[in-house]
Amino acid sequence: ASDLRPHAQSPASAHGNARKHGPFHKIVILGDGGVGKSALTMQFVCHEFLDYHDPTIEDSYQHQVHIDSRVAHLDILDTAGQPEFATIREQYMRTGEGYVICYSITDKRSFEEAIEYKKLINRYARVDHIPIVLVGNKSDLEHLRRVGVSDGEALSKEWACPFHETSAALRRNVDVVFHDLIREIRRKEHDENV
């Protein structure tokens, strides 16, 4: 069920996790402009493919899903902009609980930018092992492929994180990205609480 509310106020978490604000898991979508961050977010939240979405729009979406028979409340920040403007981004680099780092399989440069985003997270997040999922989007554009599946796999192995090639256009592998990220976040929470 889709649940689009503008920044609902919620009671503080009983567990006192500094990165967690109320029951919402704060998820940040990062990646080069045009890779499909907004399209992925929209498909996940609204089941719609936006053929055009203003590349400068940065917005957050609240969404509730059942993952492994438990409810997860997500606060998803669909970012816009370049890693060079990292100072503006510091705030969410510090507060995100988990990150989806996206590139487009049709764009080698976006793959290299993904590596830059990971460095930013490492620099700002200041905790060990931040939950991340690596995403190679636009898998429907096989004829324009510039980044091999094995490149994504190798990078995710290096980062020790899940990896999926997705198509926001066809809604292929969209849900599993968010579900895997929640699983990573829950695993981390669990490890910290034992």
Nearer to Mg ion, 80 or 176 (CB): 80
Nearer to ligand GDP, 86 or 141 (CB): 141
Q: Residues 12-41: x/- map of binding to ligand GDP (CB under 6 A)? A: -------------------x-xxxxxxx--
Count of CA atoms in the C-beta half-sphere (13 A) of 48 = 7
Among Mg ion, ligand GDP, none, partner that 67 touches (CB below 5 to 8 angstroms by kind) = none
Is 166 a binder of Mg ion (CB under 5 A)?
A: no
Q: State which of residues 1, 7, 9, 51 lies at the interface with ligand GDP (CB under 6 A).
A: 51
Q: Cβ 181 to Mg ion, closest distance in Å? A: 18
Q: Residues 151-190: x/- map of binding to ligand GDP (CB under 6 A)? A: ----------------xxx---------------------
Q: Diameter of the chain by CA atoms?
A: 50
Nearest to 166 by CA among 36, 55, 33: 36
Token pair listed for 30: 């990062």
Size of the site for ligand GDP (CB under 6 A): 19
Nearer to ligand GDP, 23 or 81 (CB): 81
Give the C-alpha separation, 186 to 170, whole Å.
Answer: 28
Query: CA distances (Å), 129 to each of 75, 86, 163, 181, in order?
Result: 20, 20, 16, 13
Q: Is 21 exposed, middle or buried (0-12, 13-18, 19+ CB in 10 A)?
A: middle
Phi-psi region of 138 (alpha: psi -120 to 50; beta: other; left: phi over 0): left
Q: Which residues bind ligand GDP (CB under 6 A)?
A: 31, 33-39, 51-53, 55, 137-138, 140-141, 167-169
